Structure 1
Amino acid sequence: MPLTHAIVHHLTQTAHAEKLHLRDTEMNLDESLKHLVNEVKSSFYNRASKQYGRFHEESGHFKALTQQWLQGSLDFTAYSSRVMQQLQLKLQETQQESDGHWLFAVEELQQERLFWLFHLKHKDGMYLTHDIELAQGMLLDFTKLGFGACINIPALENQETDFFTVSFGFGDRSLQSTVLEFTDFTDTVDTTADTERFMAIVKAYTEQLPPEKGASYRSKAIQYCAEQDKQGETVVCQELSEVIDEEVGNTEAESLIRYIEQAEPEAKKEFIPDRKSLKRFMRYTGKSKEVSISFSNESLGSQVEFDPDNERLIINSLPAALLKQLKQE
Structure 2
Amino acid sequence: MSISNAIVHQFFRNSTTNALQLRADELGIDEPLHDLLGQVKNAFYNRSNKQYGRFSDEAGHVKALAGQWASRSLGFVTLTEQWMKHLQTELIARELDIEGYWLFAQETLEQGDQLWFFHFKHKPGLYLSHDLDLGDAAMIDFSRLGFGGVIDLAALSRKDAQYLTLSFGFGDRSLQVALLDVVNFVDTLDTSVDTDRFMAIVKAYSETLPTEKCANYRRKAIEYCTEQDKLGETVVCNDISVALASAQDPARSESLVTFMQQTEPEAKAEFIPDRKSLKKYLRYTGKSKEVSISFSNDILGKNVNFNPENESLTITNLPAALLKQLKEELGQL
TM normalised by structure 2 equals: 0.94
Shift of 1:278: 0.8
Mapped contact 2:238–2:257 kept (Cα < 8 A): yes
- Aligned AA (2:314): I
Change (3 A) 1:260 1:251: farther
Matches within 5 A, 1:165-244: 165-244=165-244
Matches within 5 A, 1:38-77: 38-77=38-77
Shift of 1:176: 0.8
For 2:59, what is the secondary structure of its paired residue? Answer: coil
> Which structure 2 segments of 5+ residues have no match?
none
Matches within 5 A, 1:7-22: 7-22=7-22
1:137 aligns with 2:141: no
Whole-Å separation in 1 of the counterparts to 2:289 and 2:181? 41
Shift of 1:219: 0.6
> Which structure 1 segments of 5+ residues have no match?
none
Shift of 1:291: 3.0
For 2:186, what is the secondary structure of its paired residue? Answer: strand
Whole-Å separation in 2 of the counterparts to 1:2 and 1:122? 25
Shift of 1:91: 1.1
Whole-Å separation in 1 of the counterparts to 2:289 and 2:81? 54
- Aligned AA (1:220): K
Counterpart of 1:245 in structure 2 is: 245
> Which stretch has the larger CA shift, 312-321 or 73-82?
312-321
Whole-Å separation in 2 of the counterparts to 1:269 and 1:53? 19
Counterpart of 1:317 in structure 2 is: 317
Whole-Å separation in 2 of the counterparts to 1:17 and 1:130? 37
- Number of aligned pairs? 329
Change (3 A) 1:307 1:211: farther
Shift of 1:314: 2.6
- Aligned AA (1:6): A
Whole-Å separation in 1 of the counterparts to 2:206 and 2:251? 14
1:3 aligns with 2:26: no
Shift of 1:133: 1.8
Whole-Å separation in 2 of the counterparts to 1:311 and 1:255? 37
For 1:137, what is the secondary structure of its paired residue? Answer: strand
> Which stretch has the larger CA shift, 101-110 or 319-328?
319-328
Whole-Å separation in 1 of the counterparts to 2:97 and 2:208? 56
Shift of 1:146: 0.7
For 1:8, what is the secondary structure of its paired residue? Answer: strand
> Structure 1, residues 118-162: CA drift from partner, whole Å, max 9, x if none?
001112222222322222232211000011110111111121111
> Which stretch has the larger CA shift, 35-44 or 126-135?
126-135
- Aligned AA (1:296): S
Mapped contact 1:284–1:295 kept (Cα < 8 A): yes
Mapped contact 2:7–2:27 kept (Cα < 8 A): yes
Q: CA RMSD in A?
A: 1.6
Counterpart of 1:306 in structure 2 is: 306
Mapped contact 2:70–2:157 kept (Cα < 8 A): no
Change (3 A) 1:210 1:241: same
TM normalised by structure 1 equals: 0.95
Whole-Å separation in 2 of the counterparts to 1:211 and 1:321? 32
Counterpart of 1:287 in structure 2 is: 287
Whole-Å separation in 2 of the counterparts to 1:237 and 1:158? 24
Counterpart of 1:81 in structure 2 is: 81
Whole-Å separation in 2 of the counterparts to 1:245 and 1:302? 26
> Which stretch has the larger CA shift, 12-21 or 182-191?
12-21
For 1:87, what is the secondary structure of its paired residue? Answer: helix
Counterpart of 1:28 in structure 2 is: 28
Mapped contact 2:285–2:294 kept (Cα < 8 A): yes
Whole-Å separation in 2 of the counterparts to 1:110 and 1:65? 24
Mapped contact 1:13–1:99 kept (Cα < 8 A): yes
Shift of 1:288: 3.1
Shift of 1:327: 4.2
Counterpart of 1:99 in structure 2 is: 99
Mapped contact 1:245–1:251 kept (Cα < 8 A): no
